Structure formats: C-alpha cells, structure tokens
Amino acid sequence: MEHAVVSAATGVLSPLVGRLSTLLEKEYAGLKGVRKEIVSLREEVSSMNATLLKLASEEDPDVQDREWGNQIRDLSYDMEDCIDDFTLRVDKHGHTTANPDDDKGFFQRNLSKLRTLGARHDIAGKIRELKARVDVVSKRHERYRFPASSSSSGGAVPIDPRLHAFYAKEDSLVGIEQPRDEVISLLTQGQGEEALVKKLKIVSIVGFGGLGKTTLASVVHRKLGEEQFDCRLVVSVSQSPDIMRIFHRILIEEFKVKPCIHNDLQGMINQLRNHLLHKRYLIIVDDLWDVSVWENALLCAFPDNNLGSRVIMTTRDNTVAEKCCGQQRDCIYEMKPLSETDSRKLFFKRIFGSEDDCPNELKDISDEILRKCGGLPLAIITIASLLASQAGKVKEEWEHVQNSLGSKLGTDPSLEMMRQILNLSYKYLHPDLKTCFLYLGAYPEDYVIWKDDLVRQWVAEGFVHGLESAGGYFNQLVNRSMIQPVKIGYDDEVLSCRVHDLMLELIIRKYSVEENFLTAVVGNSQEIKGSVHNVRRLFHYSDVLGRRRSAPALRIGLQKVRSIASCVTDIHQVRFQDMKFLRVLVLELVYNPKDESTTQAVVDLSVICKLLLLRYLKIQSEHLLKLPPQIRMLQHLETLEIASKFDKAGLAIPSDLAQLPRLSYLSILPYMAGGLPANVGTMTQLRSLAFLVLEENTLDSIKSLQHLTNLRELYLISASGDSSGGGDEAETAAAPETSHVDALQSSLSGLADCKLYLTAWSTWLSRVPQWVGRLRNIYGLEIGVGELCKDGVSVLAGLPAMARLDLWIRSAPTESIVIAGDGFPVLKHLIFTCRALFLTFEAGAMPKLRRLDLEFNNDGGGDGVFGNALVGVEHLAGLRVLSAKIGGFRSAVDAAATTGEEQADDRSAAMSRLRDAIDLHPSRPRVDITYTQGRYGLS
C-alpha cells in the first residue's frame, strides 16, 4: 500500500487498508474477537474505497450517493484518528532500550505490556464501534435509496479560462495589438491640449469574466511603462477587498516605508497621497466590483497632481466603469470576443504549435468546438489546455469534449456558463490531482502561492508521494491552465502562481458543498467557507495586519484538525493540546502594538513538541524565538522552516535536531547560530539545508556533509568581509579558514547532485575572494564587492556549475568590464548592480545566459554612460529577457521645473541607447525598462 494516498474523493480510505493490515500483524490483534473485526472492517473499507472512486468519476452523481460519500469520508478520518491515537499511546509506553537478555530487560518489557494493556483493550472496543458505524451508514444508504433513474447527466460541463496571458510575452499573445493600441489612445487623448495632458485620467476596461481584461491592462501597463512615469503600480482589488491590506502592501513593497503606527485607513491614504503627490504615476486597479471601494478609498489615495498621471481600471460591471470614469463614456473600453481568425490561432497554437500541424480528422471537430466558444479567450485556452493534456489526441476524446460543451457558449456570456467551463476542466482531472487542486482553496484571492511550499504541504498531507511527483502535479495544473504562473525562473520553471477568481469560486463550491474537504476563513469579514463540523483542515491566511485582531476561527472545535494555518499574536492562542492529529502547521507570530510587554519577548516553541504526528512546520515570526530542546519528539517531521525577523544573531539549534529521521527540508533564517549539530552526518534524509555560516561551523561538521547523500541544495553564508561600511578601499577581513573551504569542497565533490548557493551579503568584500574559485559546486552566488578587477572576473568566470550570479559593485568601474568568450559556461541568470554600466561581451560569452537584469545610474546621461553600456550584447546567443532598472532620474515635478531640452530627454536617451544595443541581437529579446529616483551601487 505504499502508493495509497489521501484524497478529497475517498478521504483516507486508501491508506486505511494498509494500516488495518498492519494492525493484523501486531500481537494485540490476538485479543479475543479483535482480529475478526479488523479483517471485516478492512474488507468493508476496501469496498467503500472502490465505490467512492467510481462515484468520483461520475459527472453528476445522485444526491443521495453524494451524501453517503461525505459520511463515509468523514468516517474514514475517524478510523485513522483512532489508529493514530492508539499508536501514540503504545509508543509512549512501549519503548525500551534495555538488553533483552538480562532480567532487567525482561522486567521492562513486561512492564511496557502492562502499561499498554489499557490501550490494547481500547482499540478492540473502538474497532467494534467503528465497524458498527460503517454498518449503520451502509444500511441507511440502502434504506433510503430510490431505484436507479433512467436519466443521465447529459448537461453541458465545460472548461476553465483566463489564461496565462497575464504573464506571457506580448508577442506570444493573440489579437492583443488592436485593443492595446485603442486603450493607449484613450489614455493619451487630448495631447494637443496641455491642460488635458496633465490632468489625471481614468480609463475603464469592462467585460465579463474570461474576456481577458487583466491581460489587456497588463500589456498596456508594460507598453506605457517605457514612457515617462515615475511610479507604476498594480492594485488587485477582487470581490471582497481588504483595503487596509492593499494599502499596507503598497507602502511596504512599492515605497519601502512603514505604514502609520495606528494602521488606520485615513493615515494610510495620507501616506499614499504624499508618496504619489510629486510623481507621474501609472496604476492598474484590477477587478473592481464595488464603486464604493473606489469612491471611498482608492480614488482618495490617487491625487490629481497635474503631472499627467493615469489609472487603468478593470471591471465586469458597466455601472462601476461609468462611475469611475466620471460618466465619460469615451473613457470606457468594452472588451470584445476574439475574431474567428484569432480564435483559431490561439486554439491551435496551444495544442499543436500551429494550425498546419493539426491532423485532418480533428479539424472539423475543432471548428465546432471553436464555434461553441464564441471567441472567449478564457474558454478557448482552457479547452485547448484540456485537449493538449490528452496524449493520444484521439478523435473520440475530442468528440466527447465537443458534446460536453452543449450549445454555443459565446451567445450566453453569463457567470453560469463560465462555471460550466470551469467544471469540465475539473471533471477531467485525475482524482489525486483533484485533491491537490482543491487544496488551493486554502489560499485567499490574489494570494501568491510559492511552488516549494505548496508541494511540500501536499506531500505532508499524504495527497502524493515524493516531491518529484508533487512537482509533476503542480506542472500539470499549470499546463492545464488551472493555475496562473506569477514568477517564472530563468530555466522556465514556474516558481509561484495564483488562482483565477473564477477557479477559486469553483474550488470553494466543491469543498464547501460537495467534498467537505477544508474550511477557510476569509479576510477581515471572518466569513467561514466550508464545514464547521469535524474540521480537518482550517486555513486563515491573514494579511500583515492580522496583529490587530485575534484569530476567532481558532474557536472552532479543532480536536480532529490535520492542517492549520493562522496568524496570531500569542502562540498560546493555539490550543495545541487539542490537536494531537495535526500534520501541517503554518503559523505567523506578529506583534500586538497595544501590548508593549511583547516587544522583546522570547517565544518558546516547546509547546510544538506535543504535536507528535507533525510533518510540516513553518513559522514566520516578529518575535525572538527559542526552538524546543527536545525537538526529537517530532519523529514524523519532514519540513522545518523558521524565519524570525529580529533574531539577528541567528537561531540556536537544539543538539537533538539530528535525531529527526524523516527531516528532508531544513531552513533557518537568518541562520543557524553556532553551526550544525555535531552528528549532522546522520541526517541522511536531508534534501535541502539552509542557512549555514561557514565560519561558525566546525571542521568536523563540514566534513560530515559528505554523508548526506540525498542532499540537493545547500545554502551557505560567508560572513568574511568589511562590515564597517567604509569606502571602496576597505580591506577584506580574515577569509574563511583554508581548511574550512577545502573541507567544504571535498564534501561536496562527492555529492554530484548537490547545488551550493553562497551568499556574501552580510558584509562588503573589497574584491572577489580567490577562495570562491575553489568551490566548484557553486550553483548560485550572491556577492557584493567594492570593485571588480580582471582577477575577480576570472574567478567568477571559471566556476563551472554556476547558473545564477547576483553581483553588486559599490564603485563605478574606470574601464569596461570584459566578459571573455570562454567564461561563465553554464550561467543562465545574471543580476548586475553598479553605479555605472560599462559591460563588454566578447563572441561566445555566456552561451547559456537567458536573463540579464541590470541596475545602474543615469550619471551624466547620453553617450557618457549609455554609449558603451552593452558592447557586444548581440553575442549573448541564448538571451531571452533584458531588464534594466535605471536610477538617478529626477521626478516629474523636478523635470517640469527644469528648463533645458537635454534634461527633459534623459529617459528617452537612456531607453533609445539601450534599445539600439539590443536591436543588434538577432533574436530581439524582450526588454523591460524602469526608472527610479533611487541610486544603485551605493552602500
């Protein structure tokens, strides 16, 4: 039963079959009558599991069958809880380390049996009780069951939409050019009249869900972003917006300022106005449902500063669009369906690459499918993704999809029609993949979900076995357009995602009404979605303002909870003593500004040791933390991730950490104070280890790393360097001991699959240290240096495994930095930050480079900086994206007050010089350019 998984369709019935078999192998099954009851229960569970799998495959199951399925799933959890409870009681008293051959060992073994005798008799009684409950549920189902109906589920059950266009390259989108230019025209109308140019202008994009409003707005945003705007923002509003959270996030993430101490709405609005008052800004307000949100909050924060600022607003409601535009109909763009030509292009491009590659026997069916889609991009891309996932491209399968679509969808642009489209995609998922998909309902609308967190939680929940399989499930959801990528790595791996609001509605409907799978608490309203009885999974992903309130959701009975995520001000708000079956715990510990006693309080996490079945533990804290000294009690723990914002000295690691036999992911931020446990070499299950300070670890600990044969990622910090913040001439402090560097390289050389990530940001180095060149396994390097000389370039260029380099240079180079053709053989992503940009790439340089991020200043402007900025960039054969952030520009208000044509054209000069350089590249990579008043390359 090693492949038995937990499922939304069958609960824990599949794993239960194996666990009941294990019970039969134990000596306590010999208690009178127990073995027979276990055998009978196991057979019943196997039959119920098969029936529920069949029920899950039906498109429209009978309502009585569905209710019976809910009862059986709930009963399955109670069965496993019973077995877990029994196992914990036996393990607590039944463990002995005495010698089995001596009298003392004999005495201890018999004493253990006596101590567990009560538990053994309890399990016998509970097995009988569970068997009786199974019989009652089954007989009730038969008693009230009507004869089978002759009607079938012939209704349309179509697919999901709003594709990946939001994050796709503009040149890969279909039919976007004309609407993009029309919206830009609306934004720039009246350029002949100076007063109209400078006045704040608001343009609304309106249309029902699935037409591509967000995609269009983002394309316009990128296009206009290359023009003269000091500030660009994207504000996702959604149907139930948390305005305080939205403003808080803008202030912190965009403006890097701390919100007003009282966190009141008026104060935040004033802060936003002050930051925007002297800037020409371009803002997208995406997915606005309620005009009062606009009039009472958003509009108040966007000042009409007479600098030519612009706002693009997307909505499904024509009334909202009109009111936001001040009843000016000429400022509203109404979305239109795709033309027949563009529909075909989008459909066939997603499945085959082009229409020419479509088999002839599928063309007529394709025409009919497209006719029913009626030009809706969301419907087309979702159905295309569904068909593309069917490896055989069999005609019969396509005909089934065609028939499932019912009548023409495009003639009925209603929400119900879109629900049918979404539901079809869901129905075609494998049962295990459905479970993983429903789990996404734990996250609120517009939440950025990181892949690594998600797949580890899937594994901890038992939905899938192994991280590789979980990663494959994640990719399937991406390929089927069920989730939308947000951040994509240089190797095209999707690193984070969002769930479209229509998809999220489908998920909530499924787990709230049909599956009873999880319970979620929504935003400030504290609205509870899902069951409040026998809660198995409870999620309250609060925003950063969660400190203003307690977590009332935790007052729900949690004796049976298996997963919980919440934001609290006091760890004792969570009654861990009631949660003995908990598998997944995600906790955010925040300050309560009204309680000054918590400012320097140290939170002792010893209470976590009560959670003996815990597999996944992630804590983000604004308090100082203390890990439990007996952390070895968490014998099932697989993931331990701790991030303490104020533990600048690092987090002390308990000596018994190495006694966690299943721990595979360990991450401590800012780092592990005092180094690794002495017996780290026994932690053979570790796959990822972060963050280690090279200088704090003993030579023996570093040598022990060679025994971690499953290690795939090692994140290392080097603290050597000048921390005084002095000038560029500051000398490097004592480098790591040569023996430490040699031991590290020796250990890693035997771990062929391990990637080393080295960070040297805690201090500035005067130059690139020579010892870095000896770490041949470096996969990712982050380093800040006073200057970059030729020797430093040679050290970096000679690293044979380095795929990512984040390099800061404090001083402006006096001559061009030359990248030779034989260096950086596998580098894929370069982030280069300096006061001034002088880079020369020789033929053959960086042959694998895909993404180049540049951050530099506009000092001098014109040919002085940009003329020699990127010499030979056309030699970067694999380059796909060039991103440039240019600092040192005046704000719009400063520029307006300055006379002189040269100063007014600084940005145009910068952009044209960079574009002239990149235009020489044969592949014409995508170019993103932004400007800021800040400066780069400074300490």
Distance between CA 499 and CA 442 in Å, rounded? 11
Same domain for 184 and 311, yes or no, is yes
Is the previous residue joined to 670 through a cis bond, with omega within 30 degrees of 0? Answer: yes
108-112, 501-505, 532-536, 699-703: range with highest mean pLDDT: 699-703
What is the pLDDT at residue 729?
A: 37
What is the 3 state secondary structure string of 819-870?
A: ECCCCCCCCCEEEEECCCCCEEECCCCCCCCCEEEEEEECCCCHHHHHCCCE
Least confident of 25-39, 370-384, 608-622: 25-39
pLDDT digits (tens, 9 = 90+) for 133-148: 877 877 776 665 544 4
Tell me 721's DSSP state: S
One domain, residues 202 and 272: yes
* Gap between the Cα atoms of 774 and 904, Å rounded: 49
Q: Which CATH number belongs to the domain containing residue 196 in this structure? A: 3.40.50.300
- pLDDT at position 863: 45
List pLDDT tens digits, range 222-246.
888 665 688 888 888 877 777 887 8
Look up the domain containing 139 and give its range.
Answer: 13-143
Is 794 within the bounds of a domain? no
Q: What is the pLDDT of residue 224?
A: 81
Contact residues for 504 (Cβ-Cβ < 8 A; gap 6+)? 440, 441, 445
Predicted confidence at residue 106, as pLDDT, reads 43
Measuring CA to CA, which residue among 24, 38, 27, 30 is closest to residue 109? Answer: 27
Alpha helices in 10-101 (DSSP H): 13-25, 34-57, 63-94
Q: Establish if 894 belongs to a structural domain.
A: no
In a domain, 303, yes or no: yes
pLDDT of residue 436: 93
For residues 385 and 442, state if they share a domain. Answer: no
Q: Are 426 and 434 spatial neighbours (Cβ–Cβ below 8 Å)?
A: yes
CA pair distance 886, 855, nearest whole angstrom: 6
Average pLDDT, the chain: 78
- Greater confidence, 915 or 775? 775
Mean pLDDT of 453-466: 94
Rounded Cα gap, residues 346 and 354, in angstroms: 9
Find the distance separating the first CA and the last CA of the chain, reported in whole Å.
58
Q: How confident is the model at residue 657 (pLDDT cuts 50, 70, 90)?
A: very high
> Is the pLDDT score of 336 beyond 80?
yes
Name the amino acid, one letter, at 898.
T
Question: Is the predicted pLDDT of residue 302 greater than 50, yes or no?
Answer: yes
* Confidence (pLDDT) at 826: 95
**Residues forming beta bridges with residue 210, ordered by sequence position:** none
The rounded distance, in Å, linking the Cα atoms of 455 and 614 is 16
Taking the model in full, what pTM does it have? 0.77
Please check whether residues 252 and 297 belong to one and the same domain.
yes
- Under the banding of pLDDT at 50, 70 and 90, the label for residue 154 is very low
Q: Would you state the structure tokens that stand for residue 78, as one six-digit string?
A: 């109670």
Cα 832 → chain centroid: 25
Residue 880 CA to residue 921 CA, distance in Å, equals: 10
Rounded average pLDDT over 571-597: 81
The DSSP result for 615-631, as a single string, is -EEEEEESSEEE--TTG
Q: Please count the structural domains in the chain.
A: 4
Q: How confident is the model at residue 875 (pLDDT cuts 50, 70, 90)?
A: very high
Which has more pLDDT, 101 or 322? 322
Q: Which of 838, 834, 857 is nearest to 932 (CA)?
A: 857
Q: Find the range with the poorest average confidence among 142-156, 339-353, 549-563.
A: 142-156
Contact 832, 824 (CB under 8 A): no
For residues 441 and 504, what is the distance between their CA atoms, to the nearest angstrom? Answer: 6
| Residue 397 pLDDT > 60 | yes
224/216 Cα distance (integer angstroms):
12
- For residues 419 and 196, what is the distance between their CA atoms, to the nearest angstrom? 42
Whether the pLDDT of residue 2 is over 70: the answer is no
Per-residue confidence (pLDDT) for residue 128, from 0 to 100: 78
Residue 742 in any domain: the answer is no
Q: List, for residues 727-745, the tens digit of each pLDDT value.
A: 333 334 456 777 888 888 8
Question: Across 254-395, where does the E strand assignment appear?
Answer: 281-288, 310-315, 332-334
Asked if residue 305 and residue 206 are part of one domain, the reply reads: yes
pLDDT of 415: 54
pLDDT digits (tens, 9 = 90+) for 842-856: 999 999 999 999 988
Q: Is residue 139 part of a domain?
A: yes
What are the two backbone dihedrals, phi and then psi, of residue 379, each rounded to the nearest 5 degrees?
-65, -45
Task: Give the contacts of 783 (CB within 8 A, at least 6 positions apart).
Answer: 758, 759, 760, 761, 765, 768, 772, 806, 807, 808
For 905, the token pair is 């054209």
- Lowest-pLDDT range, 31-35, 175-179, 326-330? 31-35
Question: In this structure, what token pair is assigned to residue 937?
Answer: 């390359």
Rounded CA gap, 177 and 258, in Å?
A: 40
Instruction: Report pLDDT for 110.
Output: 45
Sequence length of the chain is: 939
Q: Apex CA 862: angle with CA 936 and CA 884, to 5°?
A: 40
Q: Do 404 and 441 sit in the same domain of this protein?
A: no
Higher pLDDT, 31 or 624: 624
pLDDT category of residue 723 using cuts at 50, 70 and 90: very low
> Does the structure show a pLDDT above 50 at 860?
no
Share of the chain above pLDDT 70, in %: 78
| Residue matched to tokens 């029913």 | 372
CA-CA distance, 454 to 469, in Å (whole number)? 13
Token pair belonging to 586: 């995600």
Q: For helices 34-57 and 117-143, what crossing angle results, to 10°?
A: 40
Point out the least confidently predicted range of 679-693, 817-831, 857-871.
857-871
Residue 262 binned pLDDT confidence (cut-offs 50, 70, 90): low
Pair (18, 112) in one structural domain: yes
Residue 805 domain flag: no
Lowest mean pLDDT among 123-132, 253-262, 532-541, 704-713: 253-262
Distance of alpha carbon 484 from alpha carbon 163, whole angstroms: 7
122 versus 366: which is more confidently predicted?
366
Contact 812, 843 (CB under 8 A): no
Please check whether residues 314 and 353 belong to one and the same domain. no
Is residue 120 domain-shared with residue 207, that is, in the same domain?
no
Nearest partner of 627 among 717, 637, 870, judged by Cα: 637
Q: Are 712 and 756 in contact (CB under 8 A)?
A: no
For position 469, which CATH number holds? 1.10.10
Which residue is associated with the tokens 């002759």? 150
Quick one: pLDDT at residue 148?
43
Mean pLDDT of 171-190: 82
The residue out of 96, 127, 143 marking a domain boundary is 143
- Among the residue ranges 170-179, 579-588, 656-665, 784-793, the one predicted with the least confidence is 170-179
Residue 125: predicted pLDDT: 75
Query: What pLDDT is recorded for position 739?
Result: 83
| 559 C-beta neighbours (distance < 10 Å), count | 13
What is the per-residue pLDDT for 920?
85
Let me know whether 272 and 348 are in one domain: no
**H helix intervals, 226-264:** 243-249
C-alpha–C-alpha distance, residues 254 and 231, integer Å: 9
Q: Are residues 398 and 459 in the same domain?
A: no
Model confidence band, residue 289 (pLDDT cutoffs 50, 70, 90)? confident
**Per-residue pLDDT averaged across 501-527, rounded?**
75
Question: Which of 286, 318, 334 is at the close of a domain?
Answer: 334
Per-residue pLDDT at 613 exceeds 90: yes
Q: Which of 386, 412, 427 is the last residue of a domain?
A: 427
**Lookup: tokens for 553:** 């959701």
Residue 20 in any domain: the answer is yes
162 close to 209: Cβ distance less than 8 angstroms:
yes
Q: What is the DSSP letter of 813?
A: P
pLDDT band at 878 (very low <50, low <70, confident <90, very high): very high
Task: Characterise 481 by phi-psi region: left (phi > 0), alpha (psi -120 to 50), beta (else).
Answer: left
Q: In terms of DSSP bridges, do strands 310-315 and 817-819 run parallel, antiparallel, or are they unpaired?
A: unpaired
Q: Evaluate the omega torsion of the peptide bond into residue 691 and state whether it is cis, within 30 degrees of 0.
A: yes
Is residue 198 located within the same domain as residue 284? Answer: yes
567 compared with 686, residue with greater pLDDT: 686
Residues 865, 416: Cα–Cα separation, whole Å = 57
> Is residue 353 domain-resident?
yes
- For residue 677, pLDDT over 70 is answered with yes
pLDDT of residue 852: 94
pLDDT for the residue 903: 43
Contact, 865 vs 837, CB < 8 A?
Answer: yes
Q: Name the DSSP class of 722.
A: B
736 to 290, 411, 518, 677, 720: CA distances (angstroms): 59, 70, 50, 20, 7
